[in-house]
Structure 1
Amino acid sequence: MIASNIALIVAGPTCSGKSALALRLAQRFAGSIINADSMQVYRDLRIITARPNDEDLGLVPHKLYGVLDGHQTGSVAWWQKEALAALKACQSENRLPIFCGGTGMYLRSIIEGLVEIPPPGPQAREEARSLLESLGPEGLHARLLEQDPETASRLHITDSQRLARAWEVLRGTGKGLSAWQKEPQLPPTNYRFISVRLDPDRTQLRQAIAERFAAMLKAGALEEIKALLEKNLSSSRPIMRAHGVPELIAVAKGELSLAEAEEKAITATRQYTRRQATWFRHHALGKDEDNIISFQRFGDNEKFSESEFLKIENFITQRIDNH
């Protein structure tokens, strides 16, 4: 029997094959897969976020996939609370928890804990959303740089969700996000994490991103976005900024051709994967390198040899046995 306080993590940049590898590990170790992707939590975006399909969902239990409506906001604090509940559920079901996703802050919150920041309040939240809509992410970044340079210097100028969060925290609490993050944290879980980090070749990853976006279009991604538009959500909602969503919205509104949108979406995703890969190398998986195994490969079954999978299997088994 696997110890009740051990969990696996399968992490890496977008399109690196995390879901396929997590599924294979869940089948091998009687696991349940817990979503750690900030966009796969939304039920409206199955295609454009590459959420697991019905066949995969039927093979092993999956948790925290498609659980939020588009008008809701899946914050790090919300996810951590839900992830802790999912861990308890896995324990009661005698299944090994396997976190799978590319949102580094989500994984970091479950490994290292989370700073308890007071709620900024609806007025600050609305101000942040309004500024994001009127100024755009670059303009909001410039405004934040004036008032909270420490936080702004750590955020990418196109990361609208984190920029809005930083602004609402500053305005709602009177203290910047970086300052809050220096405060004592809520304790992390008492789980021991064994992590598999995927970091495939950049050139191959760029090609995989292009191929997957083309497949998404063929599967009905544009129709999915048109259905999302019918909900009349604010453009500041996190779901509206998922990779590929702004570009396909522009197609639906006649502002871009499908070819132009495809090119822009692929470029934006490639840029994001560079930041993800850097984050996973340096931040998100904790400091215990002995419990992290890395592969410069994709996790898809056809790209992951039996010998490589056996290496991961042995790595995990040894650490479970030595617990």
Structure 2
Amino acid sequence: MEQGDPGQEGGPAAVLIAGPTASGKSALALRLAQARDGVVINCDSMQVYRDLRIITARPTPEDEAAAPHALYGTVDAAVNFSAGAFVEAAAGALNEARSTGRLPIFIGGTGLYFKALTRGLSAVPPVPDAMRDEVRARLDRDGVQALHAELGLHDPEAAARLAPADRTRVARALEVVLATGKPLAQWHERGTPPLLPPVRVSAVFLAADRDTLYARIDARFAAMLQAGALEEVAALAERRLDPLLPAMKAHGVPAVMRYLRGEISLEEAAAIGAADTRHYAKRQFTWFRHQLPEFRWVRPDEADAHFAAVIPGCA
């Protein structure tokens, strides 16, 4: 039966709302949670960090008070929060929702998180901190080209697949093969079962009009700078964390840090941050189209009607 088919008793067991940034996902999830006694569960890799409420557009305290929310702002920026850690946390949130009879509503823009939920996750073991620190130190000292060449000796397949200038992925592939003795591809062959197989799951991707979306991204980034994002990033910069940590690469953070160091103007930082976010939104469209084709694409203005048809009590 089709995922989310209203013919199934009680409707879907969970709702997945994906889409590009600034497409209206949070507002939709909140309306759905209020209508159907649901819990909004974060599925965005940057909104997990407590240091970055404003610049990652996390739900406001008022929104969080209007309906139960989970997995927002629960991780320190010093932590390299992985997809495996997300799945573990998501399993806890899912069990909590089920135990209280609430509808789990997973919402976000991180495709890998949704793929882990619906397809399972590869079994790459944790890399020891000492090995990660060693690889990152060599990355800073010798450069990514040197690490890419070394990766070619230990994991030729990964080296051929990755761009020589891709610092994050080259370092990740090298640290995995050095720590485990096995290339990433072998670990990806082993996996964990999905938390939410497609049966009885209603999964949608909010396919917003591109021009409208990009205008919203520009306006929202400017508003975030006025709403305290500068102070938020300044506090993060004072911690002097590893620049390769995910939180340090959140859209807008590197550009704002450059402004705070006096390297560029605020106008330039705003333009860079907004442009990076627009490029990310474009990649989100492409990623979901190819990686998770089972998600139903709906226009944001049609999403309420869609869920009213598949979830009892939402009309």
Q: For 2:208 and 2:223, locate their aligned partners in 1 and report how far apart those are by CA, in whole Å.
A: 20
Q: Which amino acid aligns with 1:35?
A: N
CA distance 1:103–1:194, shift in 2 (3 Å): same
Is the 1:48–1:216 Cα contact (8 Å) retained in structure 2? yes
Matched, 1:313 2:285: no
Identical amino acids, percent of aligned pairs: 46
Q: For 1:277 and 1:82, locate their aligned partners in 2 and report how far apart those are by CA, in whole Å.
A: 26
Q: For 2:296 and 2:23, locate their aligned partners in 1 and report how far apart those are by CA, in whole Å.
A: 15
Decide which of 275, 282, 290 is 1:267's aligned counterpart. 275
Provide the residue aligned with 2:262 in structure 1.
254
Q: For 2:161 and 2:109, locate their aligned partners in 1 and report how far apart those are by CA, in whole Å.
A: 19
CA distance 1:164–1:27, shift in 2 (3 Å): farther
Q: For 1:213 and 1:27, locate their aligned partners in 2 and report how far apart those are by CA, in whole Å.
A: 27
CA distance 1:55–1:258, shift in 2 (3 Å): same
Q: For 1:219 and 1:124, locate their aligned partners in 2 and report how far apart those are by CA, in whole Å.
A: 39
State how 1:77-156 maps to structure 2 within 5 Å.
77-134=84-141, 144=151, 148=155, 150-151=157-158
Provide the residue aligned with 1:226 in structure 2.
234
Provide the residue aligned with 2:74 in structure 1.
67
- The more displaced of 102-111 and 156-165 is 156-165
Matched, 1:45 2:52: yes
Measure how far apart 1:294 and its partner are: 1.3
Question: Would you say how many aligned residue pairs link Structure 1 and Structure 2?
Answer: 305
Measure how far apart 1:159 and its partner are: 6.3
Is the 1:293–1:312 Cα contact (8 Å) retained in structure 2? no
- The more displaced of 239-248 and 148-157 is 148-157
TM-score (norm 2): 0.86
Deviating above 6 A after TM superposition, structure 1's stretches of 4 or more consecutive aligned residues are 135-139, 156-159
Provide the residue aligned with 1:204 in structure 2.
212
Measure how far apart 1:282 and its partner are: 2.0
Measure how far apart 1:32 and its partner are: 0.3
Q: For 2:277 and 2:151, locate their aligned partners in 1 and report how far apart those are by CA, in whole Å.
A: 24
Is the 2:122–2:192 Cα contact (8 Å) retained in structure 1? yes
CA distance 1:207–1:4, shift in 2 (3 Å): closer
CA distance 1:90–1:156, shift in 2 (3 Å): farther
Q: For 1:149 and 1:20, locate their aligned partners in 2 and report how far apart those are by CA, in whole Å.
A: 45
Q: For 1:91 and 1:74, locate their aligned partners in 2 and report how far apart those are by CA, in whole Å.
A: 25
Provide the residue aligned with 2:202 in structure 1.
194
Provide the residue aligned with 1:293 in structure 2.
296
Structure 1: gaps (5+ residues): none
Q: For 2:54 and 2:259, locate their aligned partners in 1 and report how far apart those are by CA, in whole Å.
A: 17
DSSP-derived class of the 1:220 partner = helix
Q: Which amino acid aligns with 1:216?
A: M
Structure 2: gaps (5+ residues): 1-7
